[in-house]
Amino acid sequence: MSSAHDTVIERPDSLHAKEWLRAYQRLRAATEAICAPLHKEDYMVQSMADVSPPKWHIAHVTWFFEAFILKPFQPDYQTLDPAYDHLFNSYYETHGVPFPRAERGTISRPTVDDVYRYRAHVDQAMQALLENPPREHLPEILRRLELGLPHEQQHQELLLMDIKHILAQNPLCPAYRDDLTPGLAPAPAQEVPSLGWLAYPAGVREIGHDAAEGGFAYDNEMGRHRQFVEAFEMADRPVTNGEFLAFMQDGGYATPEHWLADGWATVKAEGWPAPLYWVERDGVWHHYTLGGLVPVDLNAPVCHVSFFEADAYAQWAGARLPTEAEWETVGQDVPLSGNFVDQDYLQPVAAASSEGMPSQMFGDVWEWTGSAYRPYPGFRKLPGSLGEYNGKFMSGQMVLRGGCCATSADHIRATYRNFFPPEARWAFSGFRLARDGGV
């Protein structure tokens, strides 16, 4: 494996394997807790090509451990059904033939119960493997497990994104959960806090994960390198719903000069009048949340906007989106705290005053940057099929930073590079502004 996974102890013993087993079991239980409020009918729905049915998610993360740990390193392991290797392979072309992504919702069999039996089967085999691991393969097993656990965390976030999109198609606007942490109700008497700007001097920055400092990172974060960053200013918080509403009311979606050519073509083709999930009722904007349809909180960060919308707003506001190097320059000195899935809002919430410091850098919304998703200097893919994890997507995508309200707090870091196509809106994505100048 690459240096991204060299952080595991070089000579792990069985005690360490048992610690990894406990972490594995906690994470697997968290995935099932996300699915607990679902009805069986919900598990099957695929509301668009980018959304996967919940049943597929919980099977795919199970397949990952089976394909990359159990089959290579547990000689007596017997798969529950050989066909699952085809059905639940996401995109690993060097491993086998993946089932087409856009057709995942057509697979009614195996059933939901079958998929949970599959999870239990693999979990039992993983427990047996980690309780009595083969000594000669243990370092590699733990390196792959170190990737597999964050992989499942990514799918936990994707589950919440996809469940939201699935339920939002229903005109009844059913709530995924009705017991979320309070905080979604708007506060109309409050004024939208004014936007502040923080100045940063020009200089050479160290960007990317430093393998020498330890800790897990994906391969796309590796290749720590120096980068000169010109003086810039960064907004002290993300753009709010209220500010984005002003853009809408000023004809933002009808004024082509704000938009990139591809963005304007997308707006016209899709007929976008507002962020995803927004709907006007009796002159008041509402939006669908995992707690149901609620009035838009004007003070909370705007969410479910594409890169195209974020860039158009920045043009309208006389600013721009930050580069990912600028974002990391600011983020590396900000505490890793915020509104994550652990807070159980499952929705961006208004922040307190920033008091001259960057606020909401982590959590609430993934923040679009103006940077294309490309490899860092010295980037090396993982060997074998796991090399397809990140590197093959380094084209036609834009980088987002900071995590969101559906991200696990222990999954994020300042160097984390998320990426989506510029037209994507179903992620918990927002943005903050930047501009040239500064110290």
**How do residues 147-161 score in pLDDT, each as one tens digit?**
999 999 999 999 999
Q: What is the pLDDT of residue 412?
A: 96
What's the chain's average pLDDT? 92
Whether residue 231 is predicted with pLDDT greater than 70 in this model: the reply is yes
Distance between CA atoms of residues 366 and 407, nearest Å: 9
**pLDDT (average), residues 133-148:** 93
> Considering the chain, what percentage of its residues have pLDDT values greater than 70?
93
* Cα→Cα distances 29→25, 26, 32, 159, 395, Å: 6, 5, 5, 14, 34
For the entire predicted model, the pTM comes to 0.93
Determine the pLDDT at residue 393: 84
**Listed range (251-260, 320-329, 358-367, 430-439) with the worst mean pLDDT:** 430-439
Nearest to 69 by CA among 379, 384, 381, 380: 384
Q: CB of 397 within 8 A of CB of 375?
A: no
Average pLDDT (336-352) is: 93
Count how many Cα atoms sit within 13 Å of the Cα of residue 103 in the half-sphere of its side chain.
7
Report CA 78 to chain centroid distance, whole Å. Answer: 33
CA distances from 11 to 71, 127, 135, 203 (A): 22, 20, 10, 40
At the second CATH level, the architecture of 197-436 is: Alpha-Beta Complex (3.90)
Tell me what the mean pLDDT of segment 253-266 comes to: 98
Distance of CA 409 to the CA centre of its chain: 12
In this predicted structure, the answer to whether residue 339 has a pLDDT above a threshold of 50 is yes
Report in angstroms the alpha-carbon separations of 145 from 42, 59, 149, 156, 429. 29, 17, 6, 16, 28
Domain with CATH 1.20.120 in the chain: 3-168
Compute the average pLDDT of residues 93-101. 90
Number of H helices, E strands in the chain: 10, 12
Using the predicted structure, report yes or no on whether residue 439 has a pLDDT greater than 80. Answer: no
Q: Tell me the mean pLDDT in the region 329-355.
A: 91
Residues of the chain with CATH 3.90.1580.10: 197-436
Indicate the DSSP class of residue 376: P
CATH number of 3-168: 1.20.120
pLDDT at residue number 93: 81
